[in-house]
Homo-oligomer: A and B are copies of this chain.
């Protein structure tokens, strides 16, 4: 038996097509949503992410301003840059690619971003509104996962969901977002982590499992219930001499064994990754509408 492969690329393309139509309408009113992406230093993964986000902006018609600074960029200049972006009228969304070099106080930078332009949903105000159940900008990866479940016919309402990992970017906000009373949430959520004594006892009773703990191929087929829906958030680089580059990226899920038991599964790449970018675009258009007073 084989699980349905949930095609995050295809679903994200659907969202992008919807956004493009929406942005075309905005443009007919003379409005162009704008996203600023700040990259500091020369981390190749960060550079790749920023490039992918800028390309996605172009695809849907969002103006994208990529600002690249060298590794010695100071904290004070970073704050000035954020202030400048906060004040720019052509910029609706600001994202600062993580990680930043050590001399820059990352939480202080996040806190400095205008919450109305915080399309990554990392500002404490936006995180607090998520916890309060009155979200404005939800963090992109959890938001992408909720959309992925909903649009793939795996609505979590009334289901048992186990989230593996309690990280700031995914596990913790996702658990809250899945648990609130809403049409695309309303799940009974358990968060497992390194302090959990018997993780398999939880994953075996779950209808939906989201693996986001950053351990390569941690979740195996014997740990899940037949028919379960498995969402893989992991991106772990492992050595693989059979690959041209000598390494490749795998998720937190052991795809080969899990796909034999699961009812549906997201691949890595091509699952959650594209959905994260689609969610970022969606937040940017939302920020544009709110800031410019367009209902």
List the interface of chain A (C-beta within 8 A of B).
107, 123-134, 157-158, 166, 168, 172-173, 175-176, 179-181, 186-197, 202
Which residues on B sit within 8 Å (CB–CB) of A129? 124, 127-128
Sample of 13 more A-B contacts, CB < 8 Å, known A130-B131, A172-B179, A181-B195: A124-B127, A124-B129, A127-B128, A128-B131, A158-B197, A166-B179, A166-B180, A172-B180, A181-B193, A188-B190, A188-B192, A188-B195, A189-B191
Structural contact, B190 and A190, CB atoms closer than 8 A: yes
Q: Is the CB–CB distance between A191 and B179 below 8 Å?
A: yes
Other-chain contact of A128, B128, B133, B194, B196 (Cβ < 8 Å): B128
Other-chain residue from B131, B134, B168, B193 in contact with A173 (beta carbon distance below 8 A):
B131
The 4 closest A-B pairs by CB, nearest first: A124-B128, A127-B128, A128-B128, A190-B190
Which of the listed residues A107, A123, A176 has the most CB atoms from chain B within 10 Å of its own CB?
A176
Q: How many copies does the complex hold?
A: 2
Q: What residues of chain B lie closer than 8 Å to A190, measured between beta carbons?
A: 188-190
- The chain B residue sitting closest to A115, CB to CB, is B124
**A254 to B129 Cα, complex, angstroms:** 34
Q: Of B133, B166, B188, which contacts A202 at CB under 8 A?
A: B188
Q: Which residues of B contact A125 (CB under 8 A)?
A: 124-125, 128
Of the candidates A124, A168, A186, A193, the one having the most CB atoms from chain B within 10 angstroms of its own CB is A124
CB distance from A155 to the nearest CB of B (A): 12
